[in-house]
Amino acid sequence: MALTITGLSKTYPNGVKALKNLSLSIGNSMFGLVGPNGAGKSSLMRTVATLQEADSGSIVLDGIDVLRQKDEVRRILGYLPQEFGVYPKISALDMLHHLAVMKGMNSASERKETVDALLQQTNLWDVRKKALSTFSGGMKQRFGIAQALLGNPRLIIVDEPTAGLDPAERNRFLNLLSSLGSDRTVILSTHIVDDVRQLCPRMAIIASGELLLEGAPNDALAGLAGKIWSKVASTDDELHAIEKQLHVISTHLVGGQHEVRVFANALPGEGFRVVDSGLEDVYFLQLSGQGKNQRPN
């Protein structure tokens, strides 16, 4: 599977430029699209999912012109939108049957086989007769995956799926995503860097509608080895001084104190220690405008 996005731009009628000449290649396996809120992730995903138009650029999915051959795309695409919408009072089982009919699955026996298998796969078998409106956030997201998998799509897009899930539900959901197999491509759009670290062999970081980095998380991490330094600032004044003088990429509260993480090629000052870099450092470094030339591939 190959998805090639070239020079994609989108300006909304209110003047917001959501995508600015964005180009990106996505191959097989799980691909992480990460960026802060407002980066343009949903705009990009909705465009790939044929739900909205672009102003210019092209998207090609295995030889299909996505912006024009929409029906062909829809046949091989499963989509879990950020807001799945209303959850009706009907059961998961009935809803999946209904959606399967809408997808053109006319044979009752084939439908039963598919729906039952999806309910098992998403761990919803035991609650299949419960109304969707009573489902927890995690159950709803797993149902979202079940409906996205109807018709056995080659490409699955999941938009911000773990936002609002508690840690146990999030874990279960990430496990489900990773089990979707190597025979299809999954694009995981998220602002949660950790989701990408856990699941995705390749990723892209976007912000303000632009691509900041594309490549393997491990390569991006390797580029930061020995360059991330940490210090606990004991006073607000010290924190402000560090922020003024050094390239701070993030600050975290640890036990009520500010732990500052700084990007520097050598010891940036007294009291700093070199620390293991994490994908969050890659992300914050890109967002802070540095490292634009550090594309790992």
By CB under 6 A, name the binding residues for ligand ADP. Answer: 12, 14, 16, 18, 35, 37-43
In the complex with ligand ADP, the residue whose CB is nearer, 16 or 254, is: 16
CB of 22 to ligand ADP, least distance (A): 11
In the complex with ligand ADP, the residue whose CB is nearer, 272 or 284, is: 284
CB of 262 to ligand ADP, least distance (A): 27
CB of 252 to ligand ADP, least distance (A): 23
Q: Are 7 and 24 in contact (CB under 8 A)?
A: no
Q: How far is CA 130 from the centre of its chain?
A: 29
In the complex with ligand ADP, the residue whose CB is nearer, 32 or 35, is: 35
In the complex with ligand ADP, the residue whose CB is nearer, 25 or 208, is: 208
Owner of token pair 């969050």: 280
CB of 191 to ligand ADP, least distance (A): 7
Q: Are 8 and 57 in contact (CB under 8 A)?
A: yes
Owner of token pair 């994908």: 279
In the complex with ligand ADP, the residue whose CB is nearer, 41 or 258, is: 41
Burial class (CB in 10 A: 0-12, 13-18, 19+), 63: exposed
Helix axes 92-102, 108-121, angle to 10 degrees: 130
In the complex with ligand ADP, the residue whose CB is nearer, 37 or 109, is: 37
Q: Which two tokens stand for residue 189?
A: 């759009």
Q: What are phi and psi of 14, to 5 degrees?
A: -80, 5
CB of 211 to ligand ADP, least distance (A): 13
Q: Is 265 helix (H, G, I), strand (E, B) or coil?
A: coil
Close Cβ partners of 146 (under 8 Å, ≥ 6 residues apart): 92, 96, 118, 119, 121, 122, 124
Residue length, the chain? 297
First to last CA, the chain: 20
CB of 43 to ligand ADP, least distance (A): 3
CB of 164 to ligand ADP, least distance (A): 14
In DSSP notation, 222-259 reads HTTTT-EEEEEESSHHHHHHHHHHS-EEEEEEETTEEE
In the complex with ligand ADP, the residue whose CB is nearer, 75 or 191, is: 191
Q: CA 7, CA 277: separation in Å to the nearest integer? A: 32
In the complex with ligand ADP, the residue whose CB is nearer, 52 or 171, is: 52
CB of 39 to ligand ADP, least distance (A): 4
